[in-house]
Amino acid sequence: MSQERQRIDKWLFFARAAKSRSIAAKLVQAGRVRVDGEKIDQASHPVKPGETLTITLDRQIRILKVVAPGARRGPFEEARLLYEDLTPAPDPTRTPMPSELGPVRQPGAGRPTKRERRQLDAWTARDED
């Protein structure tokens, strides 16, 4: 294997697409990574500069073009030199899915929030005056 090719799990780790090399390997084995549109399932699959990776993460799909193999997992600025991000910008007019929104609690249900507690304290303090 030439120096220009690198295992995909190592490259994903060095490019900071995954927090650890084992997580990167699991992403690949789960079929969540495509190289030039072809689904791969082996963490040892070699990647080289010029190839396009499509990575399906929990909340987004990233499209990265490999620019260079990595030597180490360095800071973000160093990792950013390993790829060109081709991910399209999110559509600002798109309505978010319910799973993307935060949890919703009906007013008055459950324990009071900090804001509701302050309002309650202020209200009871007025009654005592």
Q: Do the domain assignments include residue 31?
A: yes
pLDDT tens digit sequence for 36-67: 999 999 999 999 999 999 999 887 899 999 99
The reply to whether 100 falls in a domain is: no
Cα maximum dimension of the chain = 82
Does 128 have pLDDT greater than 80?
no
Query: Taking the model in full, what pTM does it have?
Result: 0.70
pLDDT in tens, 7-32: 999 999 999 999 999 999 999 999 99
- CATH number of the CATH domain containing 74: 3.10.290.10
Q: Does 97 reside within a domain?
A: no
- Rounded to 5°, the CA angle 66-67-70 comes to 85
Question: Could you list the residue range(s) of the whole structural domain that residue 76 is in?
Answer: 6-89
What pLDDT is recorded for position 3? 58
Is position 38 within any domain?
Answer: yes
**How many structural domains are present in the chain?**
1
